[in-house]
Amino acid sequence: MSTALRTDTPPEELVLECTSDPLTAMARLAASGLFGDYVVYERPGSWTFAGGVLGEVVLDADAVHTTWPGRAPATRPWSGRPADALRDAFAGAAPLSAWNAYGWIAFEFAAPRPTGRLAHLIVPRTEVRVEDGRARITGPGTAQVAGLLTDVSPITGTPSPLDVRVDEARYRARVAEAVTEIHEGRYQKVIVSRRLDIPHPVDVISTYVRGREANTPARSFLLDVGGFQAAGFSPEVLATVDTGGRVMTQPLAGTRAFGRGADLDTRTRRELETDPKEIYEHAVSVRTSQEELGRVCEAGTVQVTGFMTVKERGSVQHLGSSVAGTLAPGRTAWDALESLFPGVTASGIPKPAAIEAITRLEEHRGLYSGAVVTVSHDGALDAALVLRALYAENGRAWLRAGAGIVSASTPAREYEETCEKLTTLAPHIVPRTS
């Protein structure tokens, strides 16, 4: 993606050595108060901070709201496919000759009758990208930003671990209901999740730092957009699309605990690789990802690589594969995102029936099992599946985790899996002290 954010006047740009480690640098920028809304997004070898609002697209269930430089904010109704509504909204970004957008998409983006806020993306006024020890700052306020990037003092905050072993009876009952519906032939697989409320205000930025130090995500993110905050350590890539139209997704399915000592980790890895339930759950997820990419990619280009390799993600380990292809002529990153959304490993198979079951078995999900997204004027896109995350809004904070339910699932094991996943963040929650 280009780092340029241009209107008619080229923005300030500065390249300098980043003497702070990237995690601390991103946290300092987020906590600086220089920006209102912001998004931090980490990819392998690259950290990006997007701060302030130059342009904005907000998609609600009944209307899309846009703000672009030199134009009055606009609101209009939309119908049809939500991905088309986002594509059309960004087509109106004509005042910007080049742009990158960052934000989030809710699980309900894929619901047949969506409600609430479905997506919120910003084009930032200031963008900071840190790679290989160097930072490129684009936008106003480069001197102030540069000062934050050379501050090497640590981010403070003492975690107060959260008990994850609550709500067991209710969750096990929902799993049992899902297993019954699977045996009735209503669907093959569904992800049933549970929400864990945090009984005190949370320092989201310090929690992100503490959590990232203890985790090995495929992507990580920290955001405060429109007053909604989230911090997370995504275990898998929902979609990447490069400027040449190459698209990739990375379904993970099958889970065991990790980080409990070398002997126990080896034993649980062996269980994971040989358990018929886990292998079946992963195989059907990979097959579904192939079918989804096949709808938008050129015939014969969709391939699976690294089939069923073990991915270590903080407190858990998963079976993982990569599925990739080349977009067919006339198809765009928005088509790829829509075909893959929501992630098969966070919804179920077949998706329409699984999504319907989730709306019956659970409350509104919002960002959980949605995506944090970066998209660019040049057609590139990167979307992280939102799992292993902290959410905060209106003085309340919560975690959420689920398990993939198939015909061989047992309520006790699936509850244990949610505990293992919640442990990615639960030991690292930093209370807000002011």
| pLDDT band with cut points at 50, 70 and 90 for residue 17 | confident
pTM of the entire structure?
Answer: 0.92
Strands (E), 199-262: 219-225, 228-234, 237-241, 246-249, 252-257
Q: What local confidence, expressed as pLDDT, does residue 256 receive?
A: 80
**CB atoms closer than 10 angstroms to residue 388:** 26
First-to-last CA distance in the chain?
Answer: 38
Which stretch of 124-133, 190-199, 262-271, 349-358 has the lowest confidence by average pLDDT? 262-271
CA-CA distance, 393 to 418, in Å (whole number)? 23
CB contact set of 263 (below 8 Å; sequence gap of 6+): none
| From 42, 56, 108, 236, active-site residue | 236
Give yes or no for residue 137 having a pLDDT over 90. Answer: yes
Which stretch of 15-24, 51-60, 99-108, 125-134 has the lowest confidence by average pLDDT? 15-24
CA-CA distance, 411 to 168, in Å (whole number)? 9
Task: Identify any residues that bridge with 324 across adjacent strands, giving them in sequence order.
Answer: 248, 303
Query: What is the mean predicted confidence (pLDDT) over 144-148?
Result: 88
Strand ordering across the sheet containing 13-17: 13-17, 134-138, 126-131, 46-51, 38-43, 219-225, 228-234, 389-393, 396-405, 189-198, 348-349
Residue of 147 and 75 predicted with greater confidence: 75
Model confidence pLDDT, tens digit, residues 345-370: 899 999 999 999 999 999 999 999 99
Examine the residue annotation and report whether 181 is marked as an active-site residue of this protein. Answer: no
Q: What local confidence, expressed as pLDDT, does residue 11 receive?
A: 62
CA-CA distance, 155 to 224, in Å (whole number)? 18
| pLDDT band with cut points at 50, 70 and 90 for residue 94 | low
- Tokens standing for residue 404: 């993939």
Which stretch of 1-5, 338-342, 404-408 has the lowest confidence by average pLDDT? 1-5
Query: What is the mean predicted confidence (pLDDT) over 234-249?
Result: 95
Most distant CA atoms of the chain, gap in Å: 63
Angle formed at CA 226 by CA 221 and CA 232, multiple of 5 degrees: 20
- 199 cis-preceded (ω within 30 degrees of 0): no
- Tokens standing for residue 188: 């093959």
| pLDDT band with cut points at 50, 70 and 90 for residue 98 | confident
Is the distance from CB of 397 to CB of 198 less than 8 angstroms?
A: yes
For the chain, helix (H) and strand (E) counts, in that order, are 10, 23
- Tokens standing for residue 280: 């079946």
Q: What local confidence, expressed as pLDDT, does residue 8 receive?
A: 44
Q: How distant, in Å, are the alpha carbons of 59, 152, 231, 323 from that of 211?
A: 30, 19, 9, 28
Backbone phi and psi for residue 433, each to the nearest 5 degrees, phi listed first? -100, -5
Give yes or no for residue 2 having a pLDDT over 70. Answer: no
Q: How distant, in Å, are the alpha carbons of 106, 265, 320, 326, 385 from that of 317?
A: 25, 9, 9, 29, 16
Model confidence pLDDT, tens digit, residues 273-323: 888 888 888 888 899 999 999 999 999 999 999 888 888 776 778 788 999
Q: How distant, in Å, are the alpha carbons of 229, 413, 429 from that of 395?
A: 10, 33, 15
Nearest-CA neighbor of 390 among 237, 219, 228?
A: 228
CB contact set of 223 (below 8 Å; sequence gap of 6+): 38, 39, 40, 102, 103, 104, 229, 230, 231, 372
Q: What local confidence, expressed as pLDDT, does residue 154 receive?
A: 77
